Amino acid sequence: MSTQNPKVSRRTLFAGAGTVGAVAAATSFLPQVKDLAPQITQKAKPERGGGYELSEHVKRYYKTTLV
The answer to whether residue 64 sits within a structural domain is: no
Degrees to nearest 5, angle at CA 32 with 31 and 33: 115
Q: Which domain holds residue 15?
A: 9-36
Domains contained in the chain, number? 1
The answer to whether residue 3 sits within a structural domain is: no
What pLDDT score was predicted for residue 21? Answer: 92
The answer to whether residue 50 sits within a structural domain is: no
What pLDDT score was predicted for residue 19? Answer: 94
The answer to whether residue 51 sits within a structural domain is: no
What pLDDT score was predicted for residue 53? Answer: 78
Q: What is the mean pLDDT of each run of 10 residues along the chain (67 residues)?
A: 73 91 86 72 76 87 91
The answer to whether residue 13 sits within a structural domain is: yes
Degrees to nearest 5, angle at CA 26 with 15 and 20: 25
What pLDDT score was predicted for residue 5? Answer: 66
In single-letter form, the type of residue at position 54 comes to: L
What pLDDT score was predicted for residue 62? Answer: 93
Q: What pTM was estimated for this model as a whole?
A: 0.38
The answer to whether residue 32 sits within a structural domain is: yes
The answer to whether residue 18 sits within a structural domain is: yes
Query: Distance between CA 59 and CA 54 in Å, rounded?
Result: 7
